[in-house]
Chain A
Amino acid sequence: MEYTIYILLLPLFTFIFIGLLSNKLSHKTAGIIGTISLTIITILSYMTAFEYFTTQKINGVYQTIVPFNQLWLNLGANLHIDLGIMLDPISVMMLIVVSTVSLMVHIYSLGYMKGEVGFQRYYSFLSLFTFSMLGLVVATNIFQMYIFWELVGVSSYLLIGFYYTKPEAVAASKKAFIVTRFADLFFLIGILILSFFTQTFDFGILMSGDGSIFNSAIGTTFIGGSVLTWAMALIFVGGAGKSAMFPFHIWLPDAMEGPTPVSALIHAATMVVAGVFLVARLFPIYIGFTPEVLHGIAYVGAFTAMFSAIIAIVQTDIKRVLAFSTISQIGFMMVALGVSGYEGHEGLGYMSSMFHLFTHAMFKALLFLGAGSIIHAVHSNEMNQMGGLRKYMPITHLTFLIACLSISGIPPFSGFFSKDEILTATFNFSNGLGIWMTVVAFLTAFYMFRLYYNIFWGKEYKSENGHIPHESPISMTFPLIFLAAVTLVSGFIPFGKFVTADRAEYIIHLDWTVATISISVAIIAILLATALYRKPSNIPSKIVSKTKGLYKAAYHRFYIDEIYLFITKSVIFKGISQPFAWFDRHIIDGAMNGLAWITNWTSLKIRGFQSGQVQWYAYVFLLGTLLITILAIAI
């Protein structure tokens, strides 16, 4: 499968080509080159998947194959960074997800970004992102993953800041980069620790064998845990940063300042699940040697899921609702990984997490692209400036509804199947966590339908300047229809045949008790939302006035952003940097200047001796002679 290398090289060349020639190419040419390149990548990815899943199963277990691996940098005797391609069930699945969503976003952007200044730049950055994300998922070693991890971070920075003349976009891109960079620092330290004790970066060596490679890391303890535990926990912190887990979630809602297709691609479907992918990639180590970290991951995921679902209920910017919903759904995936075991039925959590990653990528991209279509039509992100749009935009309406039903967990849409498996796995782990996540599922269905009714039903759309919203062009509706179709059918994919923790086949059985609970919870939530938001009413505002404190806190996202702002502005800038700068100018430099001053002062004082007055010289001469004579006599 040597052709897989082109999956990486093609987007890289497209990036360089469009990037360097951005002044020479017309908008249309740049868009078409980017889209064609991505079409080829998508075809190659599907070929890879087909060939991999049909030929690489030996004795009922999928093999890991490395079609390409190239030494990049030697670091000492044993350590070296390679760049290569590793294919196993999850990386092949991610190839499909990334290329599909990216292709849809490329097509969609032809319409959405039409006529924007910097259209070529936009397409070259999209290619850069696709390259980085694909490189991340096929990484053969943890350092390659870190390299591409940083690259997706910077492509995200560049794309969030696409409208760079807007101060909000600049601030948001900066925040996204710095917050994830901060988390990446822990990832890096984790890698340093892990690689020192195992003397390898290579996933193949880390994951195969009897685990004796970790003996020294387990044997060394550091503040109440083995070094391996610390390393794996630190690596997870890196994943939590990219996947916007609490308390690193603050960058994601702001990242919505980027163009909406970018939010669909990067901040809903692909980059933000990198953390989930990271945990899944290292899952054998987590489950085999540091299960306590894995449980920690489950609790972080569960807390984040609930926390952001509550915030999502009260947001009024439709992209922010979707952003918090994304955080919440990634929480689901983390929980699923955290509660998972390794073999057979135990490994249900792992399977369902990957399944949910897949279905979520499709329906969340659909939601964002739908939101883009709406924003395109009404020129606003705010819910209260919408309403009754179903008449004007039938295709957007229908596809959006499908996605909403899917995320709410209504059969037969894809989200039902994956979410239901997650809940089953969670209930197997502990009833408390199961109930907690069921509540989150209830909130999910509620806020999604609040969003849906506020956009498409509710009060009639009134425009301020006689502008009538209309359906988007075919380049934008085609991706909607395609993704809606995927959402309709992908629930029936026998996912357990392809991706499981132990890579052996697992037949999914629906647990009907859990399914009944989850369906009825979703239906109740939808009915509640229907009652409240379908027609304009004053009940929601009454509820708001009753729960003013809670509402306000949730609306302000529980003031986490303010805490960060305080830390950066008051602690880091005012508390550290400014005193350092003052210290540098006044103390250290002052000492140097002081030295110069003392020299000056001394020479000023001594200068008097060289006054040029002969009388004075004669006087000193006589005095000196006298002194020496007296001294000579005395001795």
Chain B
Amino acid sequence: MNFLSIFVLIPVLMILALFLSKKRNQILGVMVTGSTLLIGLSIYLVIKYIITRAGGATDPMLFTSTITWYEPLNIHYSVGVDAVSVAMLCLSSIIVFTGTFVSWKIEPLTKEFFLWYCLLAIGVFGFFISTDIFTMFMFYETALIPMFLLIGIWGSGRKEYSAMKLTLMLMGASALLLVGILGIYFSSGATSMNILDIKNANIPLNQQYLFFILTFVGFGVLGAMFPFHTWSPDGHASAPTAVSMLHAGVLMKLGGYGCFRVAIYLMPEAAEQLAPFFLILTGIGVVYGAFTACVQTDLKYINAYSSVSHCNLVLFAILMLNQTAMTGAVLQMLSHGLMTALFFALIGMIYGRTHTRLITEMGGLIKIMPFLGVCFVIAGLASLGLPGLSGFVSEMTIFVGAFENTDAFRRTLTIISTASIVITAVYILRMVGKFLLGPLQNQEHAKLDDAHWFERLAVIILIAGIVYIGSFPTDLADMLNNSIGNVVAQVMR
């Protein structure tokens, strides 16, 4: 069996082990062991990938393997990775790992929570290792269903409404996707649903238009594309902490990754022609999300709208259809994944102590919880693009890349979206200034304690990732750049 499949196998085994475990310690033991193995596996994958590439492997996808599982429709279980999927797998394993520690005290139904959590992980990992579009779609659906239960049962606030809304909107999107994927397969006339095969068989241009729109919008909804982003604020606000982390940190990346891997890669001509329309939508999304975040008072809503802004920038960059901007988009996915997971983790920890998320009801908390406060400031600085933290690297790569397009339309849009760096500073500093700094607003809060060891561990790992990307981006960016170079070379032939 191909070693990539172990990414899916580990969560499957975790589920089995969870069924057998009775005590709380056993459950946590299973989760920690499993997610540590996932981290170890991603490290192994990175090393193996680098060595193989250094050894001169030039295939677009490495470590490929195919097993037929539904002959009549030529559906295969095919796996393979390039640098982009490697990066996404690493991100996912980090978030799954830290999410486990953040959920250390989850109550009630601890076992059931982690069962669904692992099922979600299966979907995510399976999606990123697959190269067969139908298998990808199947894993995508696997990731969606647990979300409904996780939010509906363990959530807070209007959880039933939010869970329903999130699931229905994403299900609607996957209906579009299913049509799009089948359309791609049949119109290309390829002999399998493997992306690499479809790429070799061309899709006629007049059919590309329809299927591009279907797949781009289908994945775009998950990537919070304007105006299909409204599931995100409600969904994130109601979800339990670890689920918000996993959802914003990884699941929203499924959208960007899918747009890149399926919509753009398979239908570049339609992408080229329809890009202006979607560029306008995503460009609006970048600025719109940032402005809307400025007036929110709920910490989770601020971060959700901030995610809308950042994720639209990912799609915006992908649509620029050049190597540098696309590299920036992948960097932005990684950066946003870590950053937003850190934000949601910290918000969850603070909410767990103060029982409010309204910035108007808090103040001066950094004095009471110095560790959480400082980490929150670091997350904020990363979000507003401070050099040395990940946001700067990805945003600058995107802006420089986007500006390489010579037409005035794209340049104007780029300049408009650069304005988001100022608006981001406004809402981040407003938020930090209101609830962390200033005098202590609620005397009850003076008794609260700072982070526990398991919370510190999760937060420090995420910050380490953010600092790594932000301070030492050279190798990572080059690795992504090479892989994306392959894609762009094929797209622009």
- Give chain A's interface residues, CB within 8 Å of chain B: 71-76, 79, 81, 143, 147-148, 150-151, 154, 157, 161, 164-167, 170-171, 173-174, 177-178, 181-182, 185, 188-189, 192-193, 195-196, 572-573, 576-578, 580-581, 584, 588-589, 592, 596
Contacts and interface: CB of A to CB of B under 8 A. Distances in A.
B429 A74 contact: no
Given A74-B478, A580-B292, A192 B165 contact: no
B465 interface: no
B473 A182 contact: no
A45 to B, nearest CB: 23
Interface stretch (B2-10, B275-283, B381-389): B381-389
Interface in B356-410: 364, 366-367, 381, 384-388, 392-393, 396-397, 399-401, 403-404
Contacts of A173: 433
B204 interface: no
Nearest to A76: B324
Interface string B429-441: 1100100011110
Nearest to A591: B227
B291 A177 contact: no
A589 B474 CA distance: 41
Nearest to A596: B168
Given A171-B433, A177-B425, A181-B422, A581 B295 contact: yes
Return the 10 tightest CB-CB contacts between A and B, nearest first.
Answer: A147-B387, A76-B324, A577-B294, A589-B230, A164-B437, A577-B295, A192-B403, A174-B429, A170-B437, A75-B400
Contact of B400 (A76, A157, A181): A76
B477 interface: yes
17 contacts: A75-B324, A76-B324, A76-B400, A150-B386, A150-B392, A165-B440, A170-B433, A170-B437, A181-B384, A181-B425, A185-B422, A192-B418, A195-B400, A196-B404, A572-B294, A576-B291, A584-B288
B418 A151 contact: no
Contacts of A189: 415, 418
B169 interface: yes
Contacts of A71: 474
Contacts of B322: 76
Contacts of A164: 366, 437-438
Interface of B: 165, 168-169, 227, 229-231, 233, 288, 291-292, 294-296, 322-324, 364, 366-367, 381, 384-388, 392-393, 396-397, 399-401, 403-404, 414-415, 418-419, 421-422, 425-426, 429-430, 433, 437-440, 473-474, 477-478, 481
Contacts of A182: 422
Contact of B426 (A178, A584, A592): A178
A225 to B, nearest CB: 16
Contacts of A73: 393, 396-397, 473-474, 477
Nearest to B231: A592
Contacts of A592: 165, 169, 230-231
Contact of A185 (B231, B401, B421): B421
Contact of A577 (B168, B229, B292, B439): B292
Q: Which of A76, A167, A573, A589 has the most CB of B within 10 A?
A: A76
Contact of B437 (A161, A192, A196): A161
A41 to B, nearest CB: 20
Given A76-B401, A165-B439, A178-B426, 17 more contacts: A73-B396, A73-B473, A74-B474, A74-B478, A74-B481, A75-B324, A75-B396, A75-B401, A147-B387, A178-B425, A178-B429, A196-B403, A573-B295, A576-B291, A589-B230, A592-B230, A596-B165
Contacts of B168: 596
A596 B386 CA distance: 41
Contact of B399 (A150, A171, A188, A588): A188
Contacts of A573: 294-295
